[in-house]
Structure 1
Amino acid sequence: MTELRTTVLSRMYVDECRREGGGLGDAVARAELPPAFDEAWRAHLLPRPWFAHGPELAAFAADLERLFELLVSLPGRLFDGDVERYAAEIGLGPRHAALLCRAGSGRPDKLGRADVYHDGTSYKLLEFNLGSEVGGTDMAVFNQSLLRVPDFADFARRRGLDHVDIAARMAAVLRDRARPVVAGGAEPVIGLIEGNGAVAAYGRLMRAVQEAMAAQGLDLRIGEVGEVRARTDGKLTLRGTPLDVVLRNFAAGQLLDDPAGPEAAEPFVRAHEAGRTVLFTSLESGLYSHKSALALLSDPRWSTAFDAEERALVDRVLPWSRTLRASGPAELLDVCRERREHLILKPGAGYGGMDTFVGWESSDAQWRRALETAAAHGYIAQERVVPRPEPVHDPATGTVDDWIAALGIFLTDDGYAGAHARANRADGGAIVAISSNPDTRMAGVFTHP
């Protein structure tokens, strides 16, 4: 019944948008956005927020916390604590695995974003992105700006809408992590550090995060790996400014592709180990956000490593998922060939829907070739989740169309930390991600009772 309440709320919202003389329809367009957020996102915003049933979303977030615990336990449960064997099993090469383990504690920080669909019955996990490089921590600006539009504020009050400020939760985490290196309770200086050459591509998004953190009272500076220097006392600096925390926006893959190589990360690791500048998060998160880690949870070969309650959690949260390899069982590829219309193939370390193969959008011949590529490169095959559509009113045309959304649910050590939504028209293709589908739109998420 929860999905029915959400759909009814969406229809109420659309009906009010269509009401003559009402101001709800163009509320998003009229919302005054901060300059950097406006530059980064205005052209990509959905003309309405997304809604979710608060208790259901909270219950699913609690399941995600338990799933996180299962993920980080995998090396110990399945490989006797041998992280190298675990890394090889999920398809990471020795060089990549060694970089991820550098400065690792054996337990990564609980910071991440789970991308999920609601299928009309429950939420299902598509992927679990862990680490500080996940995007979207600025998206609560959408909610806050919309609440300053009187027409929407009135709707939100009447319907009991609420939201969690992702940026506020992130700021709290950063202050907590900075405490050991900041004297006298002073505010920390944060470096949001990208890979070399990447600020040109991602700078507008980074400036939106910088702006959101400034609203939380934090001084966040933007830079690249090669601009960071280590003082003689081990403290890191960015263009001469001492950094208390490095908020890592670079991934291991960027370092492996960098001419300077993984050694470019050494100053960050040494400063972290010396207690001079905190690296948040360590690269270790990449060991568990790899999609093949999810496949280990779903694969019956490992089911005896989990008790009945844990298996029920995995079945409840995660669609059927398997890692494909050329050396894997031939019958698995046969199953995938037969189930083309029900499967999607994703690269283990991919993001944004890039290099993904969609079975129900492929011919039999295309699917055979996709399976060959997937097996050669260590993809996972995942059961299709059909997301529940919701109506969206277009204020420019007055039309109402069905849209689908992937919710990004954020977690920190304190649990659920807010959500945002990426949305496409229901007939707009299977991939809901701006990087691979330019028609994708972003929205804040409001919960209802």
Structure 2
Amino acid sequence: MTTAPPATLTDRYLAGPGRRPLTLRDPDPARLDLVHQALEDRFLSRPAFLTADEAGRLQADLDGVTDLLFTLPERLFGGDPHAFAAAVGLRPEQSRLALRPPVPEPARIGRADLYRDRTGFRMLEFNISSALGGLQIAELNRLTLADPELAAFAAREHLRFPDPAAVLAGQLRQAAGRTGETCRVALMDCPDGYRATEPEITALAALLAPHGIEAYGCHTGQVRESGGRLLAGGRPADLVYRYFTLGELTADAATLVEAEALLDLFARCGVPVLSPLRTSMHGNKRALAMLWEDRCQDTLDAGERDLVRRLLPWTHELRPGTARVDGERADLLAYCRRHRERLVLKPAHGLGGSGTVLGRAVDDARWAASLEQALATPHIVQELVTPLPETFPGRESGEPEPWVLNWGAFLIGRAYAGAFLRGLPAGRADVISYAAGAHAGCVFQQAQPNT
């Protein structure tokens, strides 16, 4: 006689309050408005859940991969960060700007995009940068707890959720060197990008305020020096929280000159930038691909090698030549042509799934053409991960429906700082993004015993 496996957290939820779709209540109109502004107006019909062990493993894995990415210059380039920058695609002027002496340490602020298959979480991308969306997700957790049945389930199962904004506030204080007093933070973008990011910036400023962070939005054109102090939009700043990108600062020669003057001003006033410009090159898709190269694999110990192979799908920069696949060396382009249905092609610098081609979604001729076109600009090719569908109550039918989730898991410092979900019905989930109509959702996790 076989014994049925124990019911999971999700099973227990679906057998109880999860039999019906969750509806956001309106106990706090300001919070509801904030969530709608930040996370679109489409929400999953239930939260997702992690056990304490799953959350702990996820934190350890994100920490471990970050450690590996930050040590790539030492492992592969003799400690030369400029050589590493060139290898991940930075132009010389970009490398020079990002690595102006004294060379800053990269910052541990990022969001990993993960699928969950039969083996566990698999990391598709890792956006290591301060310009992250979704930091407001804890507000959605709080709103869902207005549902009394979910609140009772959360209490019974000892569920909690990290608050990314609260964890970030601690990092801001530490970086600014202001641990016991008000910390003034300029949330800064470029002038051309500020209009689009202003709602995100305003929302983050409101979330940081309860944690003693006096944050405000501004752009790089509003910065000046007064009496040795940095003023941004007329207000003093102890720290610049960066939304502007290295690409924006080096768009042309005139912009580059302005960027160098801007960084000189920050340094002269003693105001640090979080995250430093160099951070983003460690989250580059080509940096992830390096973890699978033989020369990097040879530097890993057994635990590190297991981490890469367990968490990161096989990933390689698309270029002529050979690569190790399935334990043997093979001509990379010939392998890609033969194994279309197993692979996905991505621009090395793309965002939100833009330019992604799934081999299984096209025929041989289209796939071959896509590979040929991709050789003209930096691309990576990656093993296709097939996520396990999860059951969600249908909002229209009320019947169970299979959905596929993209987990956006935050790492801030060395802490897993929560996750926000994007999901689509399983039948149309080739690329899960807001642009494809994804719905947003939040995650609860069980507390560790005795916490």
List per-residue Cα deviations over 1:323-355 (Å, max 9, x = no partner). Answer: 012577791011111111111111222221111
**What is the one-letter code of the residue matched to 1:26?**
L
2:92 equivalent in structure 1:
94
Within the alignment, does 1:208 sit opposite 2:203 as a pair? yes
Task: Tell whether 2:358 aligns with 1:362.
Answer: no
Residue 80 of structure 1: aligned partner: 78
**Is the Cα–Cα contact under 8 Å of residues 347 and 379 in structure 1 kept in the other structure?**
yes
1:31 & 1:326 partners in 2: Cα distance?
58
The within-5 A match list for 1:52-131 is 52-102=50-100, 105=103, 107-131=105-129
Q: For residues 356 and 277 of structure 1, what CA distance do their matches in structure 2 show?
A: 38
Aligned runs of 1:50-449 on 2, under 5 Å?
Answer: 50-102=48-100, 105=103, 107-179=105-177, 185-233=180-228, 235-257=229-251, 260-274=254-268, 276-325=270-319, 331-434=331-434, 436-437=435-436, 439-448=437-446
CA–CA distance in structure 2, aligned partners of residues 372 and 163 of structure 1 = 45
Q: 1:371 to 1:313 in 2, by over 3 A?
A: same
- Report how far residue 275 of structure 1 moved: 5.3
Deviations 1:213-270 (A, max 9, x none): 224342211122222223351x322221111111101111222336852333335523
SS at match of 1:27: coil
Q: CA deviation at 1:378?
A: 1.6
Q: Per the alignment, do residues 384 and 322 of structure 1 end up closer, same or farther by CA in structure 2, a change over 3 Å counting?
A: same
Q: Aligned partners of 2:71, 2:355: CA distance in 1, in Å?
A: 29
Which has the higher mean CA deviation after the structures are superposed, 279-288 or 171-180? 171-180
- Distance in 2 (alpha carbons) for counterparts of 1:125 and 1:31: 36
Given that residues 97 and 260 in structure 2 are in contact (C-alpha distance below 8 angstroms), is that contact kept between their aligned partners in structure 1?
Answer: no
Give, in whole Å, the separation in 2 of the partners of 1:42 and 1:310: 38
More helix by share: 1
How far apart, in 2, do the equivalents of 1:236 and 1:448 lie?
Answer: 44
Query: Who is 1:25 aligned against?
Result: 21
In structure 2, do the counterparts of structure 1 residues 289 and 104 end up closer, same or farther at CA, with 3 Å as the change threshold? farther
- Matched to 1:305, the amino acid is T
Maintained 8 Å contact 1:100/1:286: no
Aligned residues: 435
Range that drifts further, 341-350 or 51-60:
51-60
Contact 1:225 1:264 in 2 (8 A): no
Once the two structures are TM-superposed, the CA of residue 271 in structure 1 deviates from its matched residue by: 4.2
Residue 42 and residue 397 in structure 1: after superposition, are their counterparts in 2 closer, same or farther (change >3 A)?
Answer: farther
Shift of the 278–8 alpha-carbon distance from structure 1 to 2, 3 Å rule, reads same
**Which SS does the other structure have where 2:188 is aligned?**
strand
Q: So what's the TM-score if we normalise by structure 1?
A: 0.89
SS in 2 for 1:105: coil
Change (3 A) 1:45 1:204: farther
Q: Percent identity?
A: 33
In 1, the alpha carbon distance for the partners of 2:220 and 2:194 equals 10
1:418 deviates by 1.8
Change (3 A) 1:268 1:57: farther
Using a 3 Å threshold, how does the CA distance of structure 1 residues 284 and 49 change in structure 2: closer, same or farther? same
Distance in structure 1 (CA, Å) of the matches to 2:185 and 2:367: 46
Mapped partners of 1:386, 1:53: distance in 2? 22
Q: CA RMSD in A?
A: 2.4
- For residues 104 and 305 of structure 2, the distance between their equivalents in structure 1, rounded to whole angstroms, comes to 23
**Structure 2 letter corresponding to 1:225:** T
Instruction: Provide, for residues 7-29 of structure 1, a one-character-per-residue CA deviation record: whole Å limited to 9, x for no partner.
Output: 8433443343575xxxx633335
Q: 1:117 to 1:30 in 2, by over 3 A?
A: same
1:64 offset after TM fit, Å?
1.8
Q: Deviation at 1:290?
A: 0.6
Asked if the contact 2:185/2:241 (under 8 Å) is kept, the reply is yes
State the distance in 2 between where 1:342 and 1:137 align: 33
The 1:18–1:332 alpha-carbon spacing in structure 2 relative to 1, beyond 3 Å, is closer
Superimposed CA distance per residue, residues 98-142 of structure 1 (whole angstroms, 9 cap, x where no aligned partner): 232235635311111111111122111111111211222111111
Matched AA of 1:165: D
CA distance in 2, matches of 1:231, 1:355: 45
Asked whether the 8 Å contact 1:75–1:83 carries over to 2, the reply is yes
CA contact (8 A) 2:404 2:429 kept: no
Checking the alignment, whether the CA contact within 8 Å between 1:191 and 1:245 is kept in structure 2 is: yes
Q: Secondary structure at the match of 1:366?
A: helix
Residue in 2 that maps onto 1:40: 38
Equivalent residues of 1:114, 1:126 under 8 A apart: yes
* Cα distance in 1 between the residues matched to 2:336 and 2:153: 47
Q: Which moved more, 1:67-76 or 1:202-211?
A: 202-211
Secondary structure in 1 aligned to 2:376? helix
* Segment drifting more, 221-230 vs 288-297: 221-230
SS in 2 for 1:198: helix
- TM-score, with normalisation over the residues of structure 2? 0.89
Write the distance in 1 (CA, Å) between the matches of 2:15 and 2:305.
Answer: 43
Structure 1 CA distance, aligned partners of 2:174 and 2:232? 21
Conserved 8 A contact 2:105-2:276:
no
Q: Which runs of 5+ in 2 are unaligned?
A: 324-329
Give 3-state SS (helix, strand or coil) of 1:446's partner.
strand
What are structure 1's unaligned runs of at least 5 residues? none
Instruction: Verify the 8 A CA contact 2:190 2:248 in the aligned structure 1.
Output: yes
SS at match of 1:143: helix
CA distance in 2, matches of 1:355, 1:231: 45
Q: Which stretch shifts more, 283-292 or 198-207?
A: 198-207
* Separation of aligned partners in 2, 1:385 and 1:42: 26
